[in-house]
Amino acid sequence: MKNVLVVSNYRAGRKTAVLNKKILKKFLYQHAEHFKIIDICDLDNINTTEFDTIIAMGGDGTINKILPIVINTDKTLGIIPCGTANLLAAKLGIPTNIKKALNILAKENSKKIDAISINNKLCILRFGLGYDSNIIGKTPQSLKNKFGYLSYFIAGILFALRLKLQKYHITYNNNEINVEASCIIVANSSNMYKNIVSVSSQCKLDDKLMDIFVLKTKNPISFFIEFLNILFQHRIDNKRAMYFKTSKLKIDNKWTLGHIDGEKQKFSGNIEFNIIPNAINIIL
């Protein structure tokens, strides 16, 4: 690593980035020719052209903010997971232990992974509507700071008891379907709790495809059955759920609240998805 920019989110997770800053500085003095550490709030004010490596010290939302800088460039993305969920880091096998994460950065082994364009916004992890969006968008930060990822589990149980169906028109692979769904997930990385729970057992970050999950029930018992299918990898199309892969997708939409990589987003028109293959060079 020559010129390194660290983008840190000191408010992510349980504010572990603050505790890790001293260890990170010692590492950078040893491994980088030049480095700069900034808060994520200052990212728009930094000229990033001189940096060859961008390190995200935060959660999945922090990584998403950095995507426009590294996508389809020669820059390399590194990750020090300090967020609540750290799902991308888990998928890549990057531990939350700061010293082990830095050991991975020191080796500088990298590979190209895909990203998703969603109405020209970038996504590296997943997009969610309905149930998935409610968990992400309505779990209070104070609860996340206190209980970490367990807060999402608690919220997931509560929201499962009040699922609502909404009508969607979906186009993919020359197919058009009308469906009533309580949740839609479009995933580049489909793990939802570390690597234990995933809506697709075959989801890969470099397969040039998105994995789609559509939950078609609002009954809590049916939801629980489908959750068990996900947990034990018995994912098949049935009256409760749909699973498929595609490189392009469109969801007809008037207005809805969703999330991209854990960050709330409002969508007032149709939502179009396109895979961007080999988009990001990432250290792992």
Give the pLDDT confidence score for residue 15 in this predicted structure: 67
CA separation for the pair 1, 110 (Å, rounded): 12
The pLDDT of residue 12 is above 80:
no
pLDDT at position 193 over 80: no
Q: Which of 81, 129, 133, 89 is nearest to 113 (CA)?
A: 89
Q: Which domains does the chain have, with CATH numbers?
A: 3-108 (3.40.50.10330), 123-276 (2.60.200.40)
CB 168 within 8 A of CB 181: yes
Nearest to 191 by CA among 180, 183, 199: 199
**Separation of alpha carbons 46 and 65, rounded Å:** 13
Give pTM, 2 decimals. Answer: 0.92
Lowest mean pLDDT among 117-126, 133-142, 207-216, 219-228: 133-142
In whole angstroms, give the CA distance from residue 84 to residue 58. Answer: 9
C-alpha closest to that of 217 among 183, 266, 172, 264? 183
In this predicted model, what pLDDT tens digit does every residue of 36-73 receive, in sequence order? Answer: 999 999 999 999 999 999 999 999 989 999 999 999 99
pLDDT at 242 > cutoff 90:
yes
User: Residue 240 and residue 39: Cα distance in Å, rounded?
Assistant: 44
The full 3-state SS of the chain, as one line of letters, equals: CCEEEEEECCCCCCCHHHHHHHHHHHHHHHHCCEEEEEEHHHHHHCCCCCCCEEEEEECHHHHHHHHHHHCCCCCEEEEEECCCCCHHHHHHCCCCCHHHHHHHHHHCCEEEEEEEEECCEEECCEEEEEHHHHHHHHCCHHHHHHHCCHHHHHHHHHHHCCCCCEEEEEEECCEEEEEEECEEEEECCCEEECCCEECCCCCCCCCCCEEEEEECCCCHHHHHHHHHHHHCCCCCCCCCEEEEEECEEEEECCCEEEEECCEEEEECCCEEEEEEEEEEEEEC
Q: Are the C-beta atoms of 93 and 107 separated by less than 8 Å?
A: no
Does the pLDDT value for residue 74 go beyond 70? yes
Query: For residues 222 and 225, what is the distance between their CA atoms, to the nearest angstrom?
Result: 5
pLDDT per residue over 124-158, tens digit each?
Answer: 999 999 999 998 878 777 777 777 777 878 888 88
If you average pLDDT over residues 259-279, what whole number do you get?
A: 93
